[in-house]
Amino acid sequence: LSAGLVDEPIDVAAVERRVAAWRCGAVLLFLGTVRDRHQGRPVRLLTYTAYRPMALKTLKRITDELEAATQSLRVEIVHRLGDVPVGEASVLIAVASPHRQAAYEASREALERLKREVPIWKREHYDDGEVAWREEEPLGFVSRPF
Amino acid sequence: MKVVVVAFATASDVLGQDGVEVNLPEGSRVRDLGRALVERHPKLQPMWGRLAVAVDGELVGGGHPLEDGVEVALLPPVSGGSGA
């Protein structure tokens, strides 16, 4: 279906309407939300930034490949950017499928790939006022020019 | 030739959030750009080994030849999604 980057709260109902289809008996919505702590340290806010054109292209590649791999599967991924307060969703993965098993598998794979392949970064704002980038998964091809 | 370098996360703390233009000799490759950037911004040196590099949105290696006008992105390890 599609992939998107939004700067406001994710409209879950609109995405649900887009993925649903009469031939699909399963619609699976996964929301990744901002947790109130990182390794025990209280967090009040995350700021997400993206290399937008590449992030969009990569998200689209993930949804296209998941749909191509399984018949009748419909996938949409939406990632929110900017400041996301604790408790709100930073990512939505919506999958519709004739049967639930394929939907669970595709949803999991979409999130795993997103975390490894899409150029998006989060910055944590702690309760004590400190701020730090989180850098977790090296993108596939590391340059190492020296 | 001239390329535009954009940087993200910790790399943007060193290079700034807006793109920087870099002049390079004809025939330069990604690794030559790396050397030029580290000379100008020594703080990039320790992080360079962790960066992925994309040219016009596609990941490339250090030997990738650069052309005039391309956009080169410095991409630290990513952290999209949520903590879930």
Eight-class DSSP state of A64: H
Taking an 8 Å cut-off on Cβ atoms, the answer to whether B8 and A119 are in contact is yes
pLDDT in tens, B34-71: 999 999 999 999 988 889 999 999 999 999 999 999 99
* pLDDT of the residue at A146: 42
CA distance A134 to A35: 14
Q: What is the pLDDT of residue B20?
A: 92
Q: Which residue in chain A is spatially nearest to B64 when comparing CA positions?
A: A143
Which residues of chain B neighbour A89 with C-beta distances below 8 Å? Answer: 82
With a cut of 80, say whether residue A23 has pLDDT above it.
yes
- Which tops the pLDDT comparison, B6 or A3? B6
With a threshold of 0.80, does the pTM exceed it?
yes
The candidate with the shortest Cα–Cα distance to A78, out of A27, A128, A9, is A9
How does residue A54 score in pLDDT terms, banded at 50, 70 and 90? very high
Task: Round to whole Å and give the CA distance between A137 and B28.
Answer: 28
Q: Which residues of A touch B57 (CB under 8 A)?
A: 51, 53-54, 57
Which pLDDT score, from 0 to 100, does residue B19 have? 87
Longest C-alpha distance within chain A, in Å?
55
Contact with chain A for residue B61, Cβ under 8 A: yes
At residue A111, what are phi and psi to the nearest 5 degrees? -70, -40
Within 8 A of A33 by CB-CB distance, chain B residues are 82, 84
A contact test, residue of B18, B74, B82 with most A CBs within 10 A: B82
